[in-house]
């Protein structure tokens, strides 16, 4: 599939048009940003690691009949995806307390959450992607009630599937973010699932193997992404 014009360049990926208007090429970049773009850097090899990890996870979800935008891998850093209208909300699930949750609420870092927490964030860089609830999402006309219920149901299902996949490979899926697109009235998991968008800890040592290493200058960022890929590649 040949790339045509650049449709969109984001902080971590580029989207290209193709000769088929229903398909896009999603290219993963080595560029990294954190804290709403305030921190910028490059993680060498990240584009390839994230493309590989997202491919593994989208294919795994498809094997459970979860619809994703993934069509096929094109190159080390590129995948062909279905073009979607993206719902301007980020769906987050948390299994372990960390990050903004322990800043805002009386949880301790590393607390295992008895019930996973589902959160919605508005995709709006100017406002710093604020936390919203379903009433805000409805009032802003970002999604209808059925879609918000479907986002919750799908994110929970994806969490259950991926958690055990990670666990079997000695990893904890601490939390993650999904974006959903609309396709013929159905919601489809889009964007990426990678250490940029998931928090992943080693099960035994709780070593962080995700973008938090970049956020907090912990070093070994590329090694961590590589380790996640190696472990997820194990059958």
Which residues are at the interface with ligand ATP (CB under 6 A)? Answer: 8, 10-13, 15, 24, 69, 81-84, 86, 123, 125, 179, 181, 190-191
Q: Do you know the residue count of the chain?
A: 235
Torsion angles phi and psi, residue 26, rounded to 5: -105, 115
Cβ-proximal residue to ligand ATP, closest one: 10
CA 70 to chain centre: 13
| Nearest distance in Å: CB 136, ligand ATP | 17
Max intra-chain CA distance, the chain: 52
SS3 at position 137: helix
- Between residues 175 and 191, which has the closer beta carbon with respect to ligand ATP? 191
Alpha carbons 220 and 225: distance in angstroms, whole number: 9
- What tokens appear for 195 in the block? 């250490």
Residue 203: other Cβ atoms inside 10 A: 13
Cβ atoms of 96 and 112 closer than 8 Å = yes
SS3 at position 73: strand
- Between residues 69 and 213, which has the closer beta carbon with respect to ligand ATP? 69
Q: What is the DSSP letter of 98?
A: -
Of the candidates 231, 235, 158, 161, the one whose C-alpha atom is nearest the C-alpha of residue 201 is 231
- Between residues 147 and 191, which has the closer beta carbon with respect to ligand ATP? 191
- Between residues 34 and 102, which has the closer beta carbon with respect to ligand ATP? 34
- Between residues 85 and 109, which has the closer beta carbon with respect to ligand ATP? 85
CA angle 206, 130, 9 (to 5 degrees): 85
| Nearest distance in Å: CB 82, ligand ATP | 6
- Between residues 83 and 199, which has the closer beta carbon with respect to ligand ATP? 83
| Nearest distance in Å: CB 212, ligand ATP | 17
- Between residues 8 and 64, which has the closer beta carbon with respect to ligand ATP? 8
| H or E segment to which residue 57 belongs | helix 46-63
| Nearest distance in Å: CB 234, ligand ATP | 27
| Nearest distance in Å: CB 81, ligand ATP | 4
| Nearest distance in Å: CB 33, ligand ATP | 7
| Nearest distance in Å: CB 50, ligand ATP | 10
- What tokens appear for 150 in the block? 């479907």
């Amino acid at each position: 599939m040949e790339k045509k014009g650049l449709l969109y360049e984001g902080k971590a990926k580029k989207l290209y048009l193709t000769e088929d208007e229903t398909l896009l090429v999603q290219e993963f970049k080595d560029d990294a940003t954190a804290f709403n773009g305030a921190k910028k850097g490059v993680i060498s090899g990240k584009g390839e690691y994230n493309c590989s990890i997202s491919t593994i996870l989208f294919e795994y979800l498809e094997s459970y009949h979860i619809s994703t935008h993934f069509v096929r891998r094109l190159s080390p850093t590129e995948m062909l995806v279905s073009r979607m209208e993206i719902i301007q909300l980020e769906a987050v699930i948390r299994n372990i307390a960390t990050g903004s949750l322990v800043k805002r609420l009386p949880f301790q870092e590393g607390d295992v959450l008895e019930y996973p927490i589902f959160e919605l964030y508005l995709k709006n860089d100017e406002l710093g992607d604020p936390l919203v609830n379903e009433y805000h999402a409805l009032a802003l006309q970002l999604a209808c009630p059925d879609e918000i219920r479907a986002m919750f149901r799908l994110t929970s299902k994806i969490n259950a599937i991926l958690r055990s996949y990670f666990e079997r490979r000695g990893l904890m899926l601490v939390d993650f973010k999904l974006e959903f697109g609309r396709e013929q009235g159905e919601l489809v998991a889009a964007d990426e699932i990678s250490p940029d968008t998931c928090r992943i800890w080693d099960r035994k040592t709780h070593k962080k193997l995700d973008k938090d290493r970049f956020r907090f200058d912990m070093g070994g960022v590329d090694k961590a992404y590589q380790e996640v890929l190696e472990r997820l590649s194990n059958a």
